[in-house]
Each structure stands twice: as C-alpha cells, then as structure tokens.
Amino acid sequence: MESEKIDLKTAFSLFKDEKHIDRPVMMGVLKDVFITQLTKTFGSADNFDVIINVDKGDCEIYQNLEVVETVENPNTEISLEELEKMGEDDYELGETFTRRVELKDFGRRGILNIRQNLQGRIMDIEKANLYNKYTDKIGEIFTGEVYQTWAKEVLILDEDGNELRLPKNEQIPGEHFKKNDTVRAIIKSVEMKNNTTPYIILSRTSDEFLTKLFEQEVPEIYDGLITIKKVVRIPGERAKVAVESYDDRIDPIGACIGVKGSRIIGIVRELRNENIDVLQWTANTQLLIQRALNPAKISSIDMGNGPEDKIKVFMQPDEVKKGIGKGGCNIKLAGMLVDREIEVWRELPKNEEMDEEEDVLLSEFTNEIDEWIIERLQAIGCDTAKSVLALSPEDIAKRADLEDETVTEVMDILRAEFED
C-alpha cells in the first residue's frame, strides 16, 4: 500500500503549495475528509482521533476501543483475549485501547473515495477563493493577455492562469483581438453557474471603464481634488464626462485634458478614438444642457411640465446640425446626462419667420405618416413640413436613419399638402 501513501502526500502538497489555501482551512478540510470516510467505513467516527501533519504531508488516525469481555461491536470494542494475542496483557476491563489506523484499513475503494473527496473539496475552495478574489475587484481595471478569441467572446488569462471573459457586447464596436494581445478592461461582474468555475466578465463599454481610465491619467481625480460627477457613453462614438473641482485654483476641464491634450489622448486611443467631451458639472439642468450641446448655440429651452416630459431645445437652423451631432449621438448623450429625453426644434430667424398658416406642423400628419417616423424627423430638428422639404432626401435618410423609400413617401405627402 506504499503507493497509496505517496499519492496521498502528493495530494497534500498540491493542496498546500499550489492552491494557495491557508493552513487552518487546509487542516480543517483534510480532517473532515478523513472523518467522512471513517464514518462510511466503520459506521461512526466518534471514537477516532485524526491528527493532520501539514508540514510532513501526512496524517495519523487512531481508533479508541473499549476493553470488554465479549465484543458486540468490533468498531468500538476489543476483548481481553484479543489483546493478549497481540501481546497487550496489561489492560483491564473498561479501559481504552488505542490502535493506529493504517491507510490500508480503508480498503482500495475507501482510498479512492478519500482522493476524490479531497480533490472535490480542493476544487470547491479554489472556486470560492477565485470568486471572492474577483468579486472584491469589481469596478477595477484588469490587464491581461488574450488566450483565445471566438465570435461571441474573447478569453483572457490572468497571471495565475484563471480565465476571464470579454463578451462581444462588452467590446467597443469595431474592435478585433488576436492571441497574445494585451487587453485592458474593467471587471464588471462575477457569476457562479451550476457550481462551475466562476464566470468573470470584463467590459470595455461601461461608463465605469472610462471613469477608471480618467483616474489613472489625471492625478487630481485620483487624489480627490476633481470629482467625476457623471459619465455617459455611446461606445466607440462619443462620450461626455461632467467634472467638478473642489479647489477654485484648479481648472477641472484643463486638468482632465492636459497640456495640448496630453492626458486625454491616451484615453481616446484606448477607446478606439472615441470622441470625449469634458464639461463643467452643474446642478442647473438647463445650464448643463447648454454645456453638453456646446458649441451649438441654444435659443431657448422648454423643460416641460414634469420630469416625464421631453425637454424641447430651440435652435436656429444653422445650429441644429451641430446640436444633434453625427447620427444624433450628441443630443442623445445630452439627454442621458440629465436623465431626460431631449428634442431639438428649429427656430427661424425673425426676419425669415413665415406666417404660421404657410407651414404645417408634422404632428398634423399622424393620419398619413407613422408616428415613429414623425418622431425621428422631430429628433433631427424638423418639426414642420417645410423644415423637412428644405433638406435633401439623402440628408434626411442619413440623419433620421430612415430608408430612402420612406423618405420619398414622406416628402411626397408633405408636398401634396402645399400643392393643395
């Protein structure tokens, strides 16, 4: 049975040295494994002493037997006659005889159970340690090396060989990774699925990732002199970062951007050239909207009657495009910044104002044009029929994200109104 002893010591060594499990936990698990098997083999472990020797990588097990005249339970009792045969003739009835239990006493199946139980417990503790380790790091930036790429996710390894996942929906649009690439991302969540190895999810699209990048690049943020009040992103396109300084001597925007953009340029490159607008935070919602839509100039703002109403921002026609931004991302981000939906409305110059009877609001065409199409047109600053007809079909299709055929139909309907 010597081979079993060697294998058992190897298991102890694996448990102690490779799994990074502290001594008290290790001793407790080993003892529990042997007590479990003692119960299976002998029916009870109450009369056994299990002594774990961590440094030597072995254990000693002793069985305490009551000395009796006639044995009824050989697992708890031993007779004087048997002791005399063993050369132990100095015991009396009622005393306790202690004998050492050898590994072979468990039988081959018992030894196999011990190994399997020990391996399972090691794996469970290792999973729990990994889960706790990364749960404590949620919200921190992780840097690792790409081990494998698939269509739906990228597999990244840490320095201990643990697996972390970067799903496709957590990657910046247009990103492509290959084996051995170094990747930076934020630890987003840790999940346990069906008692398997913890599923550690990374993200490069979360707002928190951008916040952490600023903390790394801007010492004043890390030191708490500047606070990031809010971050909103359309990953890979544009982001807005509202900051506030607790020291009047520090310009929060200048500190975040750095001399000639030295601080923000690294962040922009990390995010695949995502445009980042840094603006001064204010609790005044109208002022925050103005800053968020800068450099577009706002004529007036209608906040509506309640927090559920859409905010209407009025601009001169030549300011509308700047305010809305490419694909509408600028106005969308401004809305995310104030947690309200924002609509841009064209305000014609006074010297070009048309008689209201000469134009018709798009809202008057709900019987002929689907409401969602009207909302798309209003979102790009077209709230009247003539404001739509003033633009080219190609421009409307691109900015409002509409099919060419849909735009043609809408413009035909609007033209017919004036022809009539």
Kindly state whether residues 149 and 215 are assigned to the same domain. no
Kindly state whether residues 6 and 123 are assigned to the same domain. yes
- Would you state the pLDDT for residue 324? 87
- Would you state the pLDDT for residue 385? 86
Which letter does DSSP use for residue 225 in this model? S
- Per-residue pLDDT band for 66 (boundaries 50, 70, 90) equals very high
Q: How far is residue 1's CA from residue 247's CA, in Å, rounded to a whole number? A: 75
Q: How far is residue 78's CA from residue 67's CA, in Å, rounded to a whole number? A: 5
**Residue 361 predicted with pLDDT over 90:** no
CB-based burial of residue 56 (10 Å sphere; 0-12 exposed, 13-18 middle, 19+ buried)?
Answer: exposed
Q: How far is residue 77's CA from residue 92's CA, in Å, rounded to a whole number? A: 13
Q: Which residue has the tokens 């064209």?
A: 346
Average pLDDT for residues 293-297, to the nearest whole number? 90
Which letter does DSSP use for residue 310 in this model? P
Kindly state whether residues 112 and 165 are assigned to the same domain. no
- Per-residue pLDDT band for 4 (boundaries 50, 70, 90) equals very low
**Residue 115 predicted with pLDDT over 80:** yes
- Per-residue pLDDT band for 350 (boundaries 50, 70, 90) equals low
Average pLDDT for residues 274-294, to the nearest whole number? 93
Kindly state whether residues 111 and 38 are assigned to the same domain. yes
CA distances (Å), origin 366, targets 343, 357, 370, 372: 18, 18, 6, 10
> Pick from 129, 162, 186: which residue ends a domain?
129
The half-sphere exposure of 110 on its side-chain side, counting CA atoms within 13 A, is 16
Average pLDDT for residues 228-250, to the nearest whole number? 93
Q: How far is residue 314's CA from residue 348's CA, in Å, rounded to a whole number? A: 10
Task: Output the domain CATH number for residue 180.
Answer: 2.40.50.140
Q: Residue 276: inside a domain, yes or no?
A: no
Kindly state whether residues 190 and 247 are assigned to the same domain. no
- Would you state the pLDDT for residue 91? 87
- Counting the structural domains of the chain, the total is 5
More confident residue, 353 or 196: 196
Q: Residue 287: inside a domain, yes or no?
A: yes
pLDDT above 70: percentage of residues in the chain? 90
Kindly state whether residues 121 and 226 are assigned to the same domain. no
Average pLDDT for residues 363-388, to the nearest whole number? 84
- Would you state the pLDDT for residue 244? 94
Task: Output the domain CATH number for residue 403.
Answer: 1.10.150
- Per-residue pLDDT band for 21 (boundaries 50, 70, 90) equals low
Kindly state whether residues 96 and 6 are assigned to the same domain. yes
- Per-residue pLDDT band for 358 (boundaries 50, 70, 90) equals low
Contacts of 4 (CB under 8 A, 6+ apart): 103, 104, 111
Average pLDDT for residues 3-24, to the nearest whole number? 52
Kindly state whether residues 335 and 397 are assigned to the same domain. no
- Per-residue pLDDT band for 41 (boundaries 50, 70, 90) equals confident
3-state SS record for 359-399: CCEHHHHCCCCCHHHHHHHHHCCCCEHHHHHCCCHHHHHHH
Q: How far is residue 23's CA from residue 33's CA, in Å, rounded to a whole number? A: 15
Provide the domain limits for residue 299.
282-350
Average pLDDT for residues 170-191, to the nearest whole number? 94
- Per-residue pLDDT band for 15 (boundaries 50, 70, 90) equals low
* Average of per-residue pLDDT values in the chain: 86
- Per-residue pLDDT band for 7 (boundaries 50, 70, 90) equals very low
Q: Which residue has the tokens 């494994």?
A: 33
Q: Residue 338: inside a domain, yes or no?
A: yes
First to last CA, the chain: 104
Kindly state whether residues 314 and 387 are assigned to the same domain. no
How far from the centroid of its chain's Cα atoms is residue 263's Cα?
Answer: 26
- Would you state the pLDDT for residue 56? 65
Q: How far is residue 295's CA from residue 281's CA, in Å, rounded to a whole number? A: 16
pLDDT digits (tens, 9 = 90+) for 198-235: 999 999 999 999 999 999 999 999 999 999 999 999 99
> Pick from 303, 332, 350: which residue ends a domain?
350
Kindly state whether residues 25 and 71 are assigned to the same domain. yes
Kindly state whether residues 218 and 291 are assigned to the same domain. no
Nearest by Cα to 213 from 189, 239, 191: 239
The top-scoring range by mean pLDDT among 120-124, 126-130, 134-138, 191-195 is 134-138
**Residue 353 predicted with pLDDT over 50:** no
Average pLDDT for residues 390-409, to the nearest whole number? 86
More confident residue, 121 or 407: 407
Hey, what amino acid is at 124? D
